[in-house]
């Protein structure tokens, strides 16, 4: 499907980043909300770590999305000619 094994691995990692990035971001945001509600001390190290993780997840999600769109456009550039082949039976179907 892809030209090299590296492209396949990058596509797979990007797909996993997109699929798991948003739910993880939501879980971290929910945890941050609960932590801010429960926290009564002035020690905000846990909050800073959660905010940092949320930003990292957001960056991973955006980078993975950009890679998937870019790779899709690049792969459309070099499709084989048989992609445009129309089967004979399609011409028998009525169309407007």
- For 11-22, the DSSP string reads HHHHHHHHHHHH
Q: Using CA atoms, how far apart are residues 35 and 70, in angstroms rounded to an integer?
A: 38
Domains of the chain: which residue ranges?
5-92
pLDDT in tens, 29-66: 787 777 767 766 656 776 777 778 778 888 888 999 99
Which H/E stretch holds residue 84? none
Q: Over the chain, what is the mean pLDDT?
A: 80
Question: Between residues 40 and 83, which one has the greater pLDDT?
Answer: 83
pTM for this prediction:
0.65
Retrieve residue 94's tokens: 């009525």
């Amino acid at each position: 499907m892809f030209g090299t094994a590296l492209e396949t691995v990058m596509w797979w990692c990007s797909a996993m980043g997109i699929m798991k990035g948003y739910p993880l971001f939501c879980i971290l945001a929910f945890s941050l909300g609960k932590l801010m509600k429960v926290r009564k001390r002035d020690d905000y190290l846990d909050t800073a770590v959660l905010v940092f993780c949320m930003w990292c997840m957001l960056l991973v999600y955006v980078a993975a999305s950009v890679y998937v769109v870019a790779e899709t456009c690049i792969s459309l550039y070099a499709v084989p000619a048989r992609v445009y082949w129309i089967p004979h039976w399609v011409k028998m179907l009525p169309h407007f």
